[in-house]
Amino acid sequence: MPTRWLDEDEQQTWRAFIHASRLLMDQLDREMQGDAGIPHAYYEILVRLSEAPDRAVRMADLADLTYSSRSRLSHAVAKLEQLGYVERTECPTDGRGTLAVLTDKGFASLKAAAPGHVTGVRTHLFDQLSDSQVRQLRRISESVVDHLQEPSVPGRG
Amino acid sequence: MPTRWLDEDEQQTWRAFIHASRLLMDQLDREMQGDAGIPHAYYEILVRLSEAPDRAVRMADLADLTYSSRSRLSHAVAKLEQLGYVERTECPTDGRGTLAVLTDKGFASLKAAAPGHVTGVRTHLFDQLSDSQVRQLRRISESVVDHLQEPSVPGRG
DNA sequence: CCAACCTTGTTGAGCGTTCAACTGTTCCCC
DNA sequence: GGGGAACAGTTGAACGCTCAACAAGGTTGG
């Protein structure tokens, strides 16, 4: 099957998208690193833990919630534990399992970082878009997620 | 000023967006690493070089074209040079400058990787969206880029 | 019951990015 | 034209991510 190349319009759309997501992620990462001293991805881990009953989630579930591989999460939680933000406990119902638990210190740090983060998301994303664009962005994102999460797409470990 | 928190809808939009861009970038990175043995960001560098007159671009310009910091580009070009894909030359008009030049080997590698990459972008993004959504995505991305590139936004080194 | 297999989670090496510090060059203006 | 500011690019350390290999608990079928 011959390659269907991108036409001029598609090319510019693609580049605009790459550019926007890189700029946005980099910006939020920088802000989070400055405000809380942790990368944005680590903040998301704390958020997910804070939303869970007893602030505890099993590693595998937490990996899914934060869109990350197990290895990545394992390294991340190790670092967060070292910072005193998270503790690890054996899972009572499965000898293989590990529970990650948010500590009070972690919760405090999360609480301190949250306003700045939300302001960043608003300023750099939502405030730049109309209500209709926000709705569109959600549908677009969901379509991409639905596709890439199908098992038929190779890759994800 | 009190923080304007994200409502349920905004929160889900934000998470869908994060999820989609992470999945998409990770997927394309994995495909490029498998096909060509270089990360997706390095492929973009080769593309930009290939489009330039004489396949040569100054480092600072190349950094802008590829949305990356100077340091990042410097490391990247060092690696690409070591692979034989790029060569560095002194800039004739500015003693400080360096020209990055795409070699024949680099061009060949680019040509070999291109079809797989384009197919990936089509499969994982454009094919999942309607024409109208593609148009929306472009406008949305451009708005975000325009905002984040203003000098008033702190950060970018 | 036990062997083969699957799942959970961790580890270490290799690599790319960031950040700050540094060298060398050009520009500007007094 | 000489001194200081701005600019171009590089470097090395610290750090996060990826990948493959691994240990250990669970599950299944004979």
Confirm whether B3 is domain-assigned.
Answer: no
Confirm whether A2 is domain-assigned.
Answer: no
Confirm whether A13 is domain-assigned.
Answer: no
Confirm whether B32 is domain-assigned.
Answer: yes
Question: Based on the structure, what is the number of domains in chain B?
Answer: 1
Confirm whether A44 is domain-assigned.
Answer: yes
Q: Which nucleotide is nearest to B97 (CA to C1')?
A: D8
How many degrees, rounded to 5, is the angle at CA A89 between CA A88 and CA A91? 130
Confirm whether A119 is domain-assigned.
Answer: yes
CA(B11)–C1'(C28) in Å? Answer: 51
Q: Report the CATH number at residue A132.
A: 1.10.10.10
CA separation for the pair B122, B64 (Å, rounded)? 25
Can you give the residue range of the structural domain that contains B65? 22-114
Q: For residue B56, is pLDDT > 60? A: yes
Q: Could you tell me if A66 and A45 are in contact, meaning their C-beta atoms sit under 8 angstroms apart?
A: yes
Q: Could you tell me if B136 and A15 are in contact, meaning their C-beta atoms sit under 8 angstroms apart?
A: no
For A100, half-sphere exposure in the C-beta direction (CA atoms, 13 angstrom radius) is: 31
Q: Which chain B residue shows the shortest CA-CA distance from A29?
A: B155
Q: Give the per-residue pLDDT at B157.
A: 47
What is the full DSSP assignment across A8-30? HHHHHHHHHHHHHHHHHHHHHHH
Q: pTM surpassing 0.75? A: yes
pLDDT in tens, B117-154: 999 999 999 999 999 999 999 999 999 999 998 767 77
Q: Which chain B residue shows the shortest CA-CA distance from A3?
A: B115
Confirm whether B56 is domain-assigned.
Answer: yes
Cross-chain residue pair B6–A148, CB shorter than 8 Å: no
pLDDT in tens, A25-81: 999 999 999 999 999 999 999 999 999 999 999 999 999 999 999 999 999 999 999
